[in-house]
Amino acid sequence: MSRIAVIDGIRTPFVKYGTDFDSLSAQELGRICARELIERSAIDPSLLDEVIIGCVGQPAEAANIARVVALLAGIPQSIPAYTVHRNCASGIESAVQAVMKIRAGEGQLYFVGGTESMSNIPMYYPKKMQNIFVELSKAKTITAKLKALGKIRPKLLFNPVVGLMKGLSDPVCGLNMGQTAEVLAKEFGITRQEQDEFALLSHQRAIAAREILREEIVPVTPGPAYKTTVMDDNGPRENQTIKALAKLRPVFDRHAGTVTAGNASQITDGACMMVMGTEEKCQELGREPLGYVKAFAFAGVEPDRMGIGPAHAIPMVLKKAGLKLSDMQAVEINEAFAAQVLACLRCLESEDFTRKFGYEGFTGEIPRDILNVNGAAIALGHPVGTTGSRLILTMLKHMQRNDLKYGLVSLCIGGGQGAAVVLER
């Protein structure tokens, strides 16, 4: 069977919540990225079979954001588009959708990716307040109107529901994401120091990789002010020290916790887009692809231990690919939280874990020098719907630069899942 290629890809800089991209909606970020990919890759968008884009916080004004992005980016109207949502793996899901559609014989060329503006996830009125507004709009007489207005309390007016925070909480177990990381830190006895050191490395590597990351970044000049042009990710801190990290207070468990803003991923805006297609399509277009998707896997885990997802998804995907962990020359595990990545590494190294879940032959040690070598979400940030796409793109570029055969990307997913993809060249 023909292999499925990632032909080309690009992303915007990843920019901290509320900073340079504050004025850009998710659809606008997606549009800029998608259009630039079309321009740079010179792939005729009318050849596409479909557009599939991941997004977690879909803006109310851009329902089915994939279609909005496609139209604004100048992809012909005749090409359909749909949005996928698998929480933090939405970007991966978009690529997986393309793989499955191609395998099913539905098409040969897909535009995939993710876009997220965490700066623009709205705050909204609580349900009680909404009811008052409805009552008000239905009220015909002045007295009825006054009656409705009389129900408004300051508490209702000034305590909006923060969409972003709701999105980062699990409605089933009731924990927010940081709290799930605390669960793992305690379960595996991961120290604050370990987590901070892991975080520091992420920053150091991201700073060192600045130049090479530019290969995958399109500079963005945010409108409507058009004042500055953002060339790089603004999350990595040049002068990050272990001392500074150690000073931060735990956020999710103030008294006994170890997870801080410093050893967790940053809340970030960004988009990433790729074109995927069959090997034949690549030849037809005369293109050398970045690489191929060899296999993918999703795993389900406990919602309150969602960060452990990769520890399951990785052996599962290796099994599907028929490869060993030691075959992987580079690995990206999304750094939602340092604690969560470290927990996964411990599981993968553990014989008990391997035996318990029947993963024999597909687990083992991941050396730090092949893991997240160009920094990851603790430094670069984690625009939830986009990260999955970035992992694939960053990995393929890394494999290309270093002429690697196999690479593995994986991430944990809010709600209790793990995703993993094996890439090859």
Q: What is the binding site for another protein (CB under 8 A)?
A: 28, 31-32, 35-36, 39-40, 42, 44, 71-74, 219, 221, 223-224, 226-229, 231
Kindly give, in sequence order, each residue whose CB lies less than 8 Å from that of residue 320, ignoring residues fewer than 6 positions away.
295, 296, 297, 422
CB closer to another protein out of 44 and 106:
44
Q: Tell me how far, at minimum, the Cβ of 38 lies from another protein, in Å.
A: 8
What distance in Å separates the CA atoms of residue 18 and residue 119, rounded to the nearest whole number? Answer: 5
CB closer to another protein out of 272 and 313:
272
CB closer to another protein out of 105 and 224:
224
CB closer to another protein out of 81 and 328:
81
Q: Tell me how far, at minimum, the Cβ of 278 lies from another protein, in Å.
A: 23
CB closer to another protein out of 40 and 151:
40
Q: Is 88 among the catalytic positions?
A: yes
Residue 141 φ/ψ, nearest 5 degrees: -95, 160
Q: H-helix or E-strand containing 99?
A: helix 90-103
Q: Count the neighbouring beta carbons within 10 Å of the beta carbon of residue 244.
A: 13
Contact 334, 88 (CB under 8 A): yes
What distance in Å separates the CA atoms of residue 269 and residue 227, rounded to the nearest whole number? Answer: 18
Residue where the block lists tokens 């070598």: 373
Q: Tell me how far, at minimum, the Cβ of 17 lies from another protein, in Å.
A: 23
Annotated catalytic residue within 203, 312, 382, 398:
382
Q: Tell me how far, at minimum, the Cβ of 64 lies from another protein, in Å.
A: 16
Annotated catalytic residue within 33, 55, 88, 344:
88
Q: Tell me how far, at minimum, the Cβ of 207 lies from another protein, in Å.
A: 22
CB closer to another protein out of 40 and 401:
40
Contact 1, 105 (CB under 8 A): no
Q: Is 255 among the catalytic positions?
A: no
Contact 93, 133 (CB under 8 A): no
What distance in Å separates the CA atoms of residue 425 and residue 423, rounded to the nearest whole number? Answer: 7
Q: Indicate if the alpha-carbon torsion angle 75, 78, 83, 89 is positive or negative.
A: negative
Annotated catalytic residue within 282, 344, 347, 412:
412
Q: Is 85 among the catalytic positions?
A: no
What distance in Å separates the CA atoms of residue 172 and residue 119, rounded to the nearest whole number? Answer: 25
Quote the strand ranges of 279-392, DSSP E. Answer: 291-300, 330-333
Q: Tell me how far, at minimum, the Cβ of 32 lies from another protein, in Å.
A: 8
CA distances from 282 to 7, 43, 47, 109, 406 (A): 7, 10, 12, 9, 20
Among all residues, which ones are annotated catalytic? Answer: 88, 382, 412
